[in-house]
Amino acid sequence: MRIRSLRNRLALIFGLIVAAAIGIVYLSVVPQLEEALREQKLDSLTQTAQAPTGDLERKIFGAADVGALVRAAADRSGTRVTVLDIATGSSLLLSVPLGGDSAPDADPDDTFFAVAQEAAVTGRTVRGTEPTTRGRIAEVAVPLRNQGEIAKIVVFSDDLEDVRTNVAFIRRQLLIAGAVALLLALLAGFLVARALAARVRRLEAAARKVASGDFSTRFEPESEDELGRLALAFDEMQTQLGQLDKARKQFIATASHELRTPIFSLGGFLELLTDEELDEDTRREFLAQISGQVVRLTKLTAELLDLSKLESGSLVLRPEPTDLGSLAAEVGREFRPALAHHDSDLEVRVGAGALEIECDPERVAQVLRILMDNALVHTPPGTGITLSADRENGEVRLAVTDTGLGIPRQTMPMIFEPFFTSDDTQGAGLGLAIASELAERMSGRLVAESVPGSTTFALVLPV
């Protein structure tokens, strides 16, 4: 469980990255540094050997005291100087003559002078390193010529102790600095990871509250980083969930009330009808009331079903080529009885030109019926109503305009909300909500404009 912790995993990953970086630096720097110091040592040794080599080449051939010349060359160069004789035959042999080594006490079997053998073969100055019991040494072998022929090889050698010391010091310092950096990285990684984990835990706790139904918790973004944006997204989500939950509860309460009213009314009238002393006129009146309540209940259940389908996305549109002018006129004719009962006149205006578009005629007619019914229900008797269909700016506009009292400005933002009604007239307040949802499903929009003496609801659809 500890390894699964985000805090520990982040700290571990941070430490591994730093350790890998230190390892890469160590492996790339130390070997190259050691090689560079060796080459620098060999360059210095080569330059140091130039002057003593010239003296030896001029004086050693025929000299009585070779040892004195070798010691002088060693003192001048500050290195060990070894002169090797070349003996030719079946194979090339090198040997140290008497006095030919400035370090006579050195073990002759400890140094093989491989560079001298190569210098004798190639006739060029050869340099390199050689391991010994005292550690690796640097060597420069220079051929000595006598009358144009290679007769001897002089080897200048020096130990690489200073190189080893410098490399060891740098290696040690690098390891110490790397260890300190790793510890600091682990500590910093742990602190940063702990802070991030704490923020994640706060988000988790707030999310659990939201999951349990508590939408009062706020997700406060602590910074503008990714976690801050996540907290902001969570806050917007819980706000929307809170609004949806409030709307759901309000929907259930209002729907229950709207359903309960006609059901109770039906129950009361049915109970009254059981009275045997009820006269025929009263019985017919009660039956008419029952019929009205059934119609109201049927309309309400149909609206609730349509709204549920729209909110769940299960409503299927069946578009086909439709003449909206003819459709508007047909819907207008359907409302002749209701208009006569309302003592209102309807004027149908269809614009010039073709108004045929691809749409679902049943759903467009449903929206127009809702708008017409809304105009009749929410206006006083005798109010004039206009149903128009026209093309504007590449769109088709189907509008219902009445000359009623208008809609109060403060209620305009809420007229498309489910169960909202602006007066005490009958109705569940679902019609405009359904019409607005249908308009959006058809890639259109439902717009409302109202001033005292004129109210217009328009369905705007793309061509």
Compute the Cα dihedral for 239, 243, 246, 248 and give only its sign: negative
Q: What is the pLDDT, as a whole number, of residue 228?
A: 79
Q: What angle do CA 220, 224, 228 make, to 5 degrees?
A: 40
Q: What is the pLDDT, as a whole number, of residue 83?
A: 92
Backbone angles phi, psi at 421, to 5 degrees: -130, 140
Which residue pairs from 11-18 have beta carbons closer than 8 angstroms and sit at least 24 positions apart in sequence? Answer: 11/186, 11/189, 11/190, 11/193, 11/194, 12/189, 13/189, 14/185, 14/186, 14/188, 14/189, 14/192, 14/193, 15/182, 15/185, 15/186, 15/189, 18/181, 18/182, 18/185, 18/186, 18/189
| Token pair 């491989």: residue | 114
- Residue 112: CB atoms within 10 Å: 13
Q: What is the pLDDT, as a whole number, of residue 114?
A: 87
CA distances from 281 to 168, 186, 218, 267, 278 (A): 119, 94, 63, 20, 8
Q: What is the pLDDT, as a whole number, of residue 420?
A: 67
pLDDT 10s digits, 185-221: 888 877 887 787 787 888 778 888 878 777 777 777 7
Six token digits for residue 54: 């010239």
Three-state DSSP class for 234? helix
CA distances from 260 to 253, 257, 265, 446 (A): 10, 5, 8, 31
Q: CA–CA separation, 398 vs 329, rounded Å?
A: 11
Six token digits for residue 79: 């290195």
Q: CA–CA separation, 228 vs 97, rounded Å?
A: 84
Burial class of residue 262 in the structure, from the number of CB atoms within 10 Å of its CB (0-12 exposed, 13-18 middle, 19+ buried):
buried
| 461 DSSP β-pair partners | 396
Residues of the chain with pLDDT under 50: 1, 90, 424
Q: CA–CA separation, 176 vs 170, rounded Å?
A: 10
| Token pair 């003449």: residue | 323
Q: CA–CA separation, 439 vs 366, rounded Å?
A: 11
Q: What is the pLDDT, as a whole number, of residue 209?
A: 80
Q: Where are the alpha helices (DSSP H) in 157-279?
A: 161-211, 226-273
Roughly how many angstroms between the first and final C-alpha of the chain, as a whole number? 61
CA distances from 68 to 55, 232, 279 (A): 12, 90, 157
Q: What is the pLDDT, as a whole number, of residue 1?
A: 43
CA distances from 311 to 60, 305, 365, 434, 439 (A): 110, 10, 20, 10, 13
For the chain, which residues make up each domain, given as ranges?
6-164, 226-312, 320-462
C-alpha of 98 from chain center = 81
Q: What is the pLDDT, as a whole number, of residue 227?
A: 74
Six token digits for residue 138: 């640097």
The whole-model pTM stands at 0.46
Name the residue among 445, 431, 322, 420 with its Cα closest to residue 371.
431
- Residue 105: CB atoms within 10 Å: 5
Find out if CATH 3.30.530.20 is the number for domain 6-164. no
**AA letter at 118:** E
Six token digits for residue 285: 């009146």
Provide the 8-state DSSP code for 434.
Answer: H
Name the residue among 267, 264, 186 with its Cα closest to residue 13.
186
Q: What angle do CA 71, 137, 57 make, to 5 degrees?
A: 35
Q: What is the pLDDT, as a whole number, of residue 321?
A: 93
Fold of 226-312: Helix Hairpins (1.10.287)
Instruction: Find out whether 442 and 317 touch, Cβ atoms under 8 Å.
Output: yes
CATH class of domain segment(s) 320-462:
alpha beta
Q: What is the pLDDT, as a whole number, of residue 90?
A: 46
DSSP string, 67-97: HHHHHHHHHHHTSEEEEEEEE-SSS-EEEPP
C-alpha of 439 from chain center = 35
pLDDT 10s digits, 368-416: 988 998 899 888 999 999 999 998 888 899 999 999 888 888 888 888 8
User: Fold match between 6-164 and 320-462?
Assistant: no
